Structure 1
């Protein structure tokens, strides 16, 4: 067995600067003073001291100056070279020295420097060593001792050795991974209650040159909780803290379970009025003799509180505290509940008017009812952009292209008073409308809406120019708050000039209808998602008493019922189904404006057929609508990542009678694709009719946003 060690670093090479180039090699010169004569002239330390003592001078006296010493040495050097004048002679004068001369001028160097952009620097290319790869160390990982603890898979998911996939640059790197896994194993076993666990890593050299990294774990015994002690004052209701702490004697001391139990206490106390509860640091005293631990938790619940007022601040505010009190689901004096605080925060976010918003409790210290203390809520807000542009694009066979765009100022009339301007541009429909909408109008989730619009529709069944006024009160779902019960009630007045077919003979006439309606709609939603449901069901009932004035007054009632269900076969496959029945009661079909009759066919109805294509037809094979309908659909939805495919079968028919006959049912089959986004799936479906009739297309295409149902 070997333990790999890090290899020493290579020495750093030093680069000596190159000397200036010379055109001629220097001639061999004799030294000024030979080595043996230099050593002989050099006095030793002892001789210096002796001279000093003999001469009566101090050896530590001041040395002669450099100039004096040079004057003493010059004669000696002259004798050694045989060219200096004798001692005592005057030094040579400047006249005796060779005349100074200017160095020869190099004509090339005297030329002006070239421009920088014309200088070509030779490119030194290093040798290509890309083919030379650092030798790789291969190793295998062996885990011993995990046994029946059930922790091996969790360890492997975080192991450095396993993550390395048996490859490393050096043996030292393998050793570092093994040491890291030692610490990981100990931490993991301690977190699961094995507080006596130890781990040892080693490396074995194999015969084939590879390494084997062996991690041996000794778990030891697993500790259990012996005693649970809570240091806290009594709460209301009694035992609230202990009941919220989901630990009991005999449980294994598992870190995640202990942390989850403490988090539950921190969650439950604010739900029961203790807005400022604090959880202290736990203490677990282990006893190796009994393999148990005594658990102690200090808790400071703080005062029990009740709601009082809402305050708000922010440089740019969407609306004030008065409207926030309308949105809140509590009143002054209600017991503080953190769930209601979270609900208020979510409701404020759902308005779409805030760039940021935070809701925090404020301790007042003022007494409230029943021995409580008042708690205020402070909302720190920053209003976001109030204007929004939105668009929708779709295509359907028989309906053509349809694009709808809208501009909205969501807070033009505070609080939450919006102005919406919409435009519809399509191959067979055009229109403009304006709408005023006030959300949370006097009550949470209640919306008032009033609008006016002009619309033109031209389909095979009819052509209509319509002017409309409408007003309604509603409670509707949003992506943040999907409500179980929804409703809408209101009224509308329509003035419509329509080109209509009187009977099956195909004779057309243009008539003007004055229509009044009082529509009511009630919905019940138990699905798990508003835009992309995968489980649950939805039901919707719509009843609209109406009166049509065209010559005579013709009262009648339009009613429809829709039911859709969703069943997950697996995580990626959902089976969805839908059914619908509808009726018009109290009037003959020809007395109903064509735009108010019942039709079927198209992307939201029976796929495989054009828009409004099913049902009775005139002599020109154009649909003329009916007074009753039934529809059925079954769809299998398979999703993989952000994509999906669907296969579906749709069926339905429109009848002239008031009650659906459930006969002569027409079917369509098809396939579709989905691209899932955060705001719902993009949908593209293609379908073909079964037993196609003359005049019907071989296939139909539908493109839109959201599931078909």
Structure 2
């Protein structure tokens, strides 16, 4: 070994000379080492290979498989097992089909394969999947397959050949199992993979041979022939019959339906054995045998509350329930109670469990277990309408301040034409199911084209209310109002009307019928409501009168995503001329909830300053076609209406507005934006009206 010690040089010239010699020696050593390696490598190549297999010192792990790599999507190959893949690869050049497990051993093929592997690993392939030969109702089979398919769920991502082949094998098995579960027990599936090199794409095709559909030759339900259950006719209720397909999904659904029907008929503790299904491949048929133990018919006992936080008490639950002790047991009434408790918004979770009464035979108590929900809510809304301007509302609610179900709300309104504050109390299920008792106090300032009013209102209302969870066909309400208002009549101000103070007492009532299928987005059915409010105005002049209004709307589906909707409204004030009434109690026409295309209150008689005078009767009509495209929709519409000074609407001089609406459908209802314009527009009228709100126009 050589050691170099750092020399000490007296001059820089000597140091430079030393560095040159050192570089020369290093280069010589490098050339010599390279030549030696080149010389000994051929010698190693000529040496004969060892005949003995290499050994592994760690015998216990010599055959251990390698771990799977995360997200590779392909299992490590078993080197002791030959490839038995059955998919076929079609050559893009000559269309010949070759088995995918044939080996290509030529040097050119190996080189091409290496090149392809490099390209494939960098880019991968896009692919398309098609299925041919599906049984009838192909779209249903296709939808079911898509829900199981790995190829479908990853179709937007590139994949290499190994990953694609693995997915093909899995999906072939899934498709075969799906067909067999649907009654095609002889079904087979073949797959074919066709690469399109120039497009860097692969076409995958599944060819289905469904075979014959297996049908039930015999169905037997044991245990429904007891003496105390012949009237039930459950043998007839069971939805599967002879000659029906041996469909596993239908069998599961039938079991659930039978169990539900047993609960409906008064047997909450019925036991159903797993159905025994036997398939005969010779006759292409099947048989089903199931044993049922119904137990004894039960009656309702007590409601037992097991609540965390006591959001509700037992007495109130008995008021909500539509059953009482001694009523024959019915699981439908249990579901009804569950929905009613959810509607209170006082619980976050609820469980209702039938439990046999240990002291009374054939009596079932209902144990209600709940978790209390957060009781405070802060809400806000923002809206805009022509003639109404921008308006924002905010509210704070305690949903159970006065137990039970006594919700107290404080609210505020701020807008370009509306300002105000209010407080309300709403008591749900008051004294009986679906009865709402509410009271409110509000102070508001309202500016409209027709009037400017500062109003304080005290009101009470008792009603049967409909809601999204439990939509009702019949609703009604009765109530009372006491109103103190200072109002400026803009329409008659030019004639000396000016400011007036009003004290008004009213007894409003309403009756409504609703057969539509959805509160916020109806697609079929009708709605009809009639409103009447006897009122008397005091202070500077005593004026008795009755405000009446009838609304009707209908909805007719024209296709899968097309609905034709129409609306009619008629209103009349009986007993007094409109000029003797407070401006806020008159009728007005125009705006987003009336005739779109016009500003709020813009239709009807106007003074010389184009300010509305209001009227004693009105007539409005609307028709629109609702087209839906996924979460979006378009709604062309035509509205018509007019305001009259007579007691009854004259149906003359109808003003027309038309336009187009945009809908965005959410889980709770559609968001609405309508753009309208008046037909035969008059001087001073806006060209475009914009209306934004939640829900359809009607």
- The reply to whether TM is greater than 0.5 is yes
- Corresponding residue for 1:56? none
* CA deviation string 1:515-537 (max 9, x = no partner): 11110011111111111222222
Q: How many Å apart are 1:249 and its aligned residue?
A: 2.3
* CA deviation string 1:107-126 (max 9, x = no partner): xxxxxxxxxxxxxxxxxxxx
Decide whether the 8 Å contact of 2:501 with 2:540 is kept in 1: no
Decide whether the 8 Å contact of 1:638 with 1:646 is kept in 2: yes
- 5 Å-filtered alignment, 1:465-484, equals 465-484=454-473
| Structure 1: distance between partners of 2:203 and 2:286 | 38
Return the match for 1:193 from 183, 186, 209: 183
Return the match for 1:437 from 426, 446, 451: 426
SS at match of 1:349: helix
Decide whether the 8 Å contact of 1:141 with 1:212 is kept in 2: yes
- 5 Å-filtered alignment, 1:232-247, equals 232=223, 234=226, 235-238=228-231, 240-247=233-240
Decide whether the 8 Å contact of 1:502 with 1:590 is kept in 2: no
Structure 1 residue runs without a partner (length 5+): 1-21, 26-128
| Structure 2: distance between partners of 1:155 and 1:467 | 60
1:491 aligns with 2:480: yes
TM-score normalised by length of structure 1 = 0.74
TM-score normalised by length of structure 2 = 0.76
Change (3 A) 1:274 1:593: same
| Structure 1: distance between partners of 2:323 and 2:278 | 44
- Greater shift, 278-287 or 520-529, is seen at 278-287
Change (3 A) 1:302 1:515: same
Change (3 A) 1:197 1:535: closer
Q: How many Å apart are 1:143 and its aligned residue?
A: 7.6
Q: Choose 1 or 2 for highest CA Rg.
A: 1
| Structure 2: distance between partners of 1:416 and 1:148 | 53
Decide whether the 8 Å contact of 2:619 with 2:643 is kept in 1: yes
Q: How many Å apart are 1:182 and its aligned residue?
A: 5.2
Decide whether the 8 Å contact of 2:492 with 2:498 is kept in 1: no
Return the match for 2:305 from 301, 312, 326: 312
Return the match for 1:556 from 545, 564, 583: 545
Change (3 A) 1:138 1:546: closer
1:416 aligns with 2:409: no
- Corresponding residue for 2:518? 529
| Structure 2: distance between partners of 1:515 and 1:433 | 19
RMSD, matched Cα: 3.6
| Structure 1: distance between partners of 2:610 and 2:192 | 86
- Greater shift, 697-706 or 142-151, is seen at 142-151
Change (3 A) 1:598 1:130: farther
Return the match for 2:216 from 219, 225, 229: 225
Change (3 A) 1:137 1:648: closer
Decide whether the 8 Å contact of 2:120 with 2:160 is kept in 1: no
* CA deviation string 1:404-429 (max 9, x = no partner): 22211110011001111121212122
1:704 aligns with 2:673: no
- Corresponding residue for 2:321? 328
- Corresponding residue for 1:18? none
Q: How many Å apart are 1:662 and its aligned residue?
A: 1.1
Change (3 A) 1:414 1:131: same
Structure 2 residue runs without a partner (length 5+): 1-25, 30-115
Decide whether the 8 Å contact of 2:193 with 2:202 is kept in 1: yes
- Corresponding residue for 1:277? 270
Q: How many Å apart are 1:639 and its aligned residue?
A: 2.3
- Corresponding residue for 2:603? 614
| Structure 2: distance between partners of 1:436 and 1:147 | 60
Change (3 A) 1:173 1:434: closer
SS at match of 1:331: coil
- Greater shift, 207-216 or 440-449, is seen at 207-216
| Structure 2: distance between partners of 1:144 and 1:406 | 59
| Structure 2: distance between partners of 1:212 and 1:525 | 53
| Structure 1: distance between partners of 2:164 and 2:331 | 51
Count of residue pairs brought into register by the alignment = 581
Q: How many Å apart are 1:184 and its aligned residue?
A: 3.6
- Corresponding residue for 2:337? 344
- Corresponding residue for 1:68? none
Decide whether the 8 Å contact of 1:494 with 1:516 is kept in 2: yes
Change (3 A) 1:174 1:599: closer
SS at match of 2:339: helix
SS at match of 1:456: strand
